[in-house]
Chains A and B, each alone.
Chain A
Amino acid sequence: MRKALVVLMLLAVVAIFAAEKYVWFDENTPYLGSDATGKYGGRIVVAALGGPRTMNYTVAKETSSTDVIALFMGYGGTLVELDNYARLHPCIAKRCEVELTDEGKMIITFWLREGIKWSDGQPFTADDFVFTVNDVYCNPDIPSSTQDVIKDSQGRLPRAEKIDDYTVRVIYEEPNRLAVRYIGGLYIWPKHIAEQWVKDGTFREKWTVEAINNKELVGLGPFIPVEYVPDQYIRAVRNPYYWKKDANGNQLPYLDEFVFKILPDLNAIKLAFENGEIDIYGVTAQFYPEIKAKAKEKNWIVGTGGPTYGTTFITFNWNHDDPVKRSWFRNEYFRKAVAYAMDKEAMIDTLLAGLGIAQWGPVSVLSPFYNEDALRKYPYDLDYARMMLQLGGFSWDKDGNLIDADGNKVEFILSTNAGNIVREGMCNIIREELGKLGIKVTFVPLDFNLLVNKMLNTTDWEAIVIGLTGSDEPQGGRNVWAQKGTLHFWNYHPEAAPGGQIKPEIYEAPDWELEIDRIFAENIKILDQKKVYEMFSRFQELVSEHLPLIYTVQQLYLYAHKADLNIIDPNAFGGMLWTLPWIYWKK
């Protein structure tokens, strides 16, 4: 009995120490693509809506650039990588350990694979990675949005240290749940080329698009862009030194070339796919039935891959200049009535050709933190909506108009960005349904720039239907949800409002907003996924209960590609190209 107790105690001690040191993956975890068996040769042609602006990742802010940069810096060019369900895998790092020290610091150790070379044949070592972290992304003279991602909650940047040529440590001043993903996912710069640019202060001016035709680009990714004809195409060729090998020990990638063909709009892209000029096509809901119908005849594979990230919602201005309108928009029952009046079925059927799902909360369905049980749902029901309005102190005059407790007729202006057919359609449906509740909604579509400026810099707006990009990781929405977030537009904190437009005397923050603020500030320091899951469940519960944003519907990820192209499990996170190094033509 005593012996058993000692063993148990020993186990407990081991468990405590073990809890301080986490092995994220080790040499036995296979890298993505290691089980591939394909055939060499061929070219894939993919459409791009615009040409790249730059090949310098610290400057790039738009997908037209980052999609091209990923060819030579991503797809296996990072220490760790994610699959199409955002699960972490080893990549250039074969082992990763995270240690929490007694002083509260967090140390991430990466063991790197040996013998990896840059596309110019130079060896890749720990120096390249240390240079990348310390001198590029953490360099205050080289501002980039990457810094926002790798900072800790106090805004401090991490520091990298070389242990030997193939081992590096990254030190954080406090635990950071996302550090392995973000630090390990950094695009690595070749020290032998970029070090000089940092020294002479020209880093951000290097690797413009001209670097493509000058053959200056060097990377660890599978393809190197070598030819750019402005507004026509970008051609990338196989990196002869790419490190990944398939199941038979053959060097990847399989394809000889990757081409982005630049086509100006979605109609042209669709026509080019039908004409066989491009090989894959991210279908829009509008064209999906037509493309699907032709799939057999044209030898295409056409399908859906779960809901997309990103959200579309209606939000109200809680700090409107008019105290009457302000009181409606702050009234939770009013917002609940709007939620019950939202005919999501009609939106999916008429605006998304049936290819969508209703959205109820701020976390994407694809995210590991999505918790359906935490969400409060508001099925379309005008009787419930009327009940909510009564609970909120509203009533109807003899003509059926909704009036508030002081007898003011409830009417407001609803806007969205003109030209976005889906959002305009949503506004029309909302206007019609609210009309049935006696609310007069005037729909005014506005130019995108005007809309964004009104919403962010002024108090001169009432209700807006707009969208935000999303991700698998809710923390990515911190700028939206933190009390002083720069995108906390429905209820800006007076200190954080971009135009300084909020008068402190009218500002109010309900308790649940403060609780959400705490969730976003604290979850990042917690390494235990289960606890984080609980915190984000509470966040989803609070948002769906109090409705600062009333969500609408979400389109499914739609795709089409030539059937003889070996594309694996496309979805909104991975797209069609997440397996790019081992994509091949079956013929």
Chain B
Amino acid sequence: MLKYIARRLIIAIPELLIISFMVFMIMEAAPGDFLDQYKLDPSMSKETLEAMRKELGLDQHPLVRYFKWLSGAVRGNFGYSFYYRRPVSKLIWERVAATLTLSLTSLAGSWILGVALGTFAALKKYSLADKILTVFAFSFIAVPSFFLGLLLLYLAARTGWFPIGGMISIDHNTMTTWQRFKDLLWHMTLPATALTLGSMAGLMRYMRGSLLDVLNEDYVTFARAKGMPERIVVFKHAMRNAINPMITFLGFSISGILGGSLFIENIFAWPGMGRLIYQALIQKDLYLVITSGLISAVLLVVGNLVADILLALVDPRVRLT
């Protein structure tokens, strides 16, 4: 098992290199650079722009810049953000907590609800409850999460029940721990709801289909015929097999933890990675973009690995060699 993990991790290295290089090249190929936003400012002289270009290293050949970044990156230095003039790693680190708070909450919420409701719908196939859940799921699959976010934002603006954006109140730091927790929860309600509803609906449909497939298998019929209690048939035998495809799905969800909530974070002024990356892309803040690309790639690799290991644990047919 350890050997398998080690091998997967070694294979990941060239993968990550290629991904980071591709992100870099795409950024290079896109027209313009970070300094373009200053070019139409009449108060900015040519000399100042040239000095900035030099300071930011934009006068060097792209390949030189890429390898400089790479040699720093292997030593843990991911370069400086042009926009913030601070180390990229610091900027990302500051926002990781915010993103994790939001995305782990909605990940947990959507999985628990998605799997539970999906199972319920499969067991109550074609009942009224199943039909209602189906309509509910399809509506949320059809509505993009950013649109849902906007609707919730307007709800907040009309009712005044929730804040318009942000993660904490201005007086947060003077509050007691309990008040801080409530403050955070109050700010998180809408963005977490928007994120949860969208992915929950998909998971629910997925779980329902997967469980129904398994429930139609011969061994389930056999187990029932043998007189095994329905509870054991469903939760011990059928669920175990139905969950396999879901685990692969979970692997992908892990890769999206840090960047997946990009739109929601932007709509709700949530100070997370998604917003940072979005701004970086618009500003052409090169090193911030490559580094976040790299992090997403690392998470994808890790997510897949976790999914494979979980699969091996759940499914005796899978052997990791």
Q: Which residues of A contact B (CB under 8 A)?
A: 43, 45, 50, 53-54, 59, 61, 143-145, 147-149, 208-210, 227, 229-233, 235, 259, 261-265, 268, 271-272, 274-277, 447-450, 452-453, 456, 466-469, 476-480, 486-487, 498
Contact of B42 among A209, A231, A480 (CB under 8 A): A480
Say yes or no: A263-B44 contact (C-beta < 8 A), given A233-B170, A453-B36: no
The answer to whether B45 and A145 have CB atoms under 8 Å apart is: yes
**How far is the CB of B205 from the nearest CB of chain A, in Å?**
32
Query: How far is it, in angstroms, between the C-alpha of A208 and the C-alpha of B80 when the chains are bound?
Result: 13
**How far is the CB of B285 from the nearest CB of chain A, in Å?**
10
Show 8 A/B contacts (Cβ-Cβ < 8 Å), sorted by A.
A148-B43, A276-B160, A449-B33, A467-B40, A480-B42, A486-B46, A487-B40, A487-B42
Query: How far is it, in angstroms, between the C-alpha of A144 and the C-alpha of B44 when the chains are bound?
Result: 10
Say yes or no: A450-B32 contact (C-beta < 8 A), given A231-B269, A480-B42: yes
**How far is the CB of A449 from the nearest CB of chain B, in Å?**
3
Query: How far is it, in angstroms, between the C-alpha of A474 and the C-alpha of B227 when the chains are bound?
Result: 92
Residues of B close to A274: CB separation below 8 A: 157
B138 within 8 A of A: no
Residues of B close to A227: CB separation below 8 A: 173
**How far is the CB of A493 from the nearest CB of chain B, in Å?**
12
**How far is the CB of A549 from the nearest CB of chain B, in Å?**
12
Query: How far is it, in angstroms, between the C-alpha of A183 and the C-alpha of B164 when the chains are bound?
Result: 42
**How far is the CB of B42 from the nearest CB of chain A, in Å?**
5
The answer to whether B84 and A148 have CB atoms under 8 Å apart is: no
Residues of B close to A450: CB separation below 8 A: 31-32
Contact of A268 among B48, B164, B167 (CB under 8 A): B164
B51 within 8 A of A: yes
Q: How large is the interface on B (under 10, 10 to 19, 20 to 34, 35 or more residues)?
A: 35 or more
The answer to whether B160 and A275 have CB atoms under 8 Å apart is: yes
Query: How far is it, in angstroms, between the C-alpha of A149 and the C-alpha of B170 when the chains are bound?
Result: 37
B217 within 8 A of A: no
**How far is the CB of B201 from the nearest CB of chain A, in Å?**
26
Residues of B close to A208: CB separation below 8 A: 85-86
Residues of A close to B33: CB separation below 8 A: 449
Say yes or no: A145-B170 contact (C-beta < 8 A), given A450-B32, A476-B42: no
- How many residue pairs link A and B with beta carbons under 8 A? The number is 131
Given contacts A264-B165, A264-B266, A276-B160, 18 further A-B contacts (CB under 8 A): A45-B170, A59-B85, A143-B51, A145-B43, A148-B43, A148-B44, A209-B84, A229-B172, A230-B95, A232-B167, A274-B157, A275-B156, A449-B31, A452-B36, A453-B32, A453-B36, A469-B43, A486-B49
The answer to whether A272 and B42 have CB atoms under 8 Å apart is: no
Interface residues of B in 111-146 (CB under 8 A from A): none
The answer to whether B164 and A275 have CB atoms under 8 Å apart is: yes
Contact flags B148-173 to A (C-beta < 8 A → 1, else 0): 00000110110010011111101011
Residue ID in chain B nearest A454 by CB atoms: B31
Query: How far is it, in angstroms, between the C-alpha of A233 and the C-alpha of B84 when the chains are bound?
Result: 16
The answer to whether A61 and B38 have CB atoms under 8 Å apart is: yes
The answer to whether A479 and B45 have CB atoms under 8 Å apart is: yes
Residue ID in chain A nearest B278 by CB atoms: A264
The answer to whether B38 and A449 have CB atoms under 8 Å apart is: no
Query: How far is it, in angstroms, between the C-alpha of A272 and the C-alpha of B178 when the chains are bound?
Result: 25
Query: How far is it, in angstroms, between the C-alpha of A233 and the C-alpha of B267 when the chains are bound?
Result: 16
**How far is the CB of A162 from the nearest CB of chain B, in Å?**
29
Query: How far is it, in angstroms, between the C-alpha of A447 and the C-alpha of B48 when the chains are bound?
Result: 24
Contact of B85 among A54, A147, A261, A448 (CB under 8 A): A54
Contact of B48 among A53, A148, A448 (CB under 8 A): A148
In order of increasing CB-CB distance, the 6 nearest A-B pairs are: A449-B32, A231-B271, A450-B31, A271-B157, A272-B164, A148-B45
B41 within 8 A of A: yes
Query: How far is it, in angstroms, between the C-alpha of A477 and the C-alpha of B164 when the chains are bound?
Result: 39
**How far is the CB of A125 from the nearest CB of chain B, in Å?**
31
Residue ID in chain A nearest B159 by CB atoms: A275
**How far is the CB of B286 from the nearest CB of chain A, in Å?**
13
Query: How far is it, in angstroms, between the C-alpha of A476 and the C-alpha of B43 when the chains are bound?
Result: 6
B279 within 8 A of A: yes
Query: How far is it, in angstroms, between the C-alpha of A45 and the C-alpha of B165 when the chains are bound?
Result: 14
**How far is the CB of A483 from the nearest CB of chain B, in Å?**
14
The answer to whether B157 and A275 have CB atoms under 8 Å apart is: yes
Query: How far is it, in angstroms, between the C-alpha of A453 and the C-alpha of B173 when the chains are bound?
Result: 45
Query: How far is it, in angstroms, between the C-alpha of A269 and the C-alpha of B199 when the chains are bound?
Result: 28
Residues of B close to A272: CB separation below 8 A: 164-165
Residues of B close to A469: CB separation below 8 A: 41-43
The answer to whether B168 and A232 have CB atoms under 8 Å apart is: yes
The answer to whether B168 and A448 have CB atoms under 8 Å apart is: no
Query: How far is it, in angstroms, between the C-alpha of A365 and the C-alpha of B232 when the chains are bound?
Result: 82
Interface residues of B in 247-271 (CB under 8 A from A): 266-267, 269, 271
**How far is the CB of A18 from the nearest CB of chain B, in Å?**
34
Residues of A close to B266: CB separation below 8 A: 264-265
B39 within 8 A of A: yes
The answer to whether B86 and A448 have CB atoms under 8 Å apart is: no
The answer to whether B168 and A229 have CB atoms under 8 Å apart is: yes
The answer to whether A486 and B45 have CB atoms under 8 Å apart is: yes
Residues of A close to B167: CB separation below 8 A: 232
Query: How far is it, in angstroms, between the C-alpha of A478 and the C-alpha of B37 when the chains are bound?
Result: 19
The answer to whether B170 and A230 have CB atoms under 8 Å apart is: no
The answer to whether A448 and B36 have CB atoms under 8 Å apart is: yes
Contact of A468 among B42, B48, B170 (CB under 8 A): B42
Residues of B close to A487: CB separation below 8 A: 40, 42
Residues of B close to A275: CB separation below 8 A: 156-157, 160, 163-164
The answer to whether B164 and A479 have CB atoms under 8 Å apart is: no
**How far is the CB of B278 from the nearest CB of chain A, in Å?**
9
Residues of A close to B42: CB separation below 8 A: 468-469, 476-480, 487
Say yes or no: A263-B165 contact (C-beta < 8 A), given A149-B43, A231-B95, A275-B156: yes
Residue ID in chain A nearest B166 by CB atoms: A232
Residues of B close to A271: CB separation below 8 A: 153-154, 156-157, 164
B218 within 8 A of A: no
Contact of A259 among B41, B47, B170 (CB under 8 A): B170
Residues of B close to A233: CB separation below 8 A: 166, 170
Residue ID in chain B nearest A498 by CB atoms: B46
B208 within 8 A of A: no
B147 within 8 A of A: no
Query: How far is it, in angstroms, between the C-alpha of A447 and the C-alpha of B266 when the chains are bound?
Result: 21
The answer to whether A209 and B86 have CB atoms under 8 Å apart is: yes
**How far is the CB of B99 from the nearest CB of chain A, in Å?**
11
**How far is the CB of B94 from the nearest CB of chain A, in Å?**
5
The answer to whether B85 and A53 have CB atoms under 8 Å apart is: yes
The answer to whether B31 and A453 have CB atoms under 8 Å apart is: yes
Residue ID in chain B nearest A456 by CB atoms: B39
**How far is the CB of A239 from the nearest CB of chain B, in Å?**
19
Residues of A close to B47: CB separation below 8 A: 148
Residues of B close to A276: CB separation below 8 A: 160
Q: Which of A276, A277, A447, A469 has the most CB of B within 10 A?
A: A277
Residue ID in chain B nearest A265 by CB atoms: B266
Residues of A close to B41: CB separation below 8 A: 469
**How far is the CB of A207 from the nearest CB of chain B, in Å?**
11
B83 within 8 A of A: yes
The answer to whether A264 and B48 have CB atoms under 8 Å apart is: no
Contact flags B9-44 to A (C-beta < 8 A → 1, else 0): 000000000000000000000111100111111111
Residue ID in chain B nearest A235 by CB atoms: B170
Query: How far is it, in angstroms, between the C-alpha of A271 and the C-alpha of B37 when the chains are bound?
Result: 27
The answer to whether B165 and A53 have CB atoms under 8 Å apart is: no
Residues of A close to B46: CB separation below 8 A: 486, 498
Query: How far is it, in angstroms, between the C-alpha of A149 and the C-alpha of B267 when the chains are bound?
Result: 39
Query: How far is it, in angstroms, between the C-alpha of A176 and the C-alpha of B8 when the chains are bound?
Result: 69
The answer to whether B166 and A261 have CB atoms under 8 Å apart is: yes
Query: How far is it, in angstroms, between the C-alpha of A535 and the C-alpha of B49 when the chains are bound?
Result: 30
Residues of B close to A447: CB separation below 8 A: 31-32
Contact flags B283-298 to A (C-beta < 8 A → 1, else 0): 0100000000000000
Interface residues of B in 36-94 (CB under 8 A from A): 36-49, 51, 83-86, 91, 94
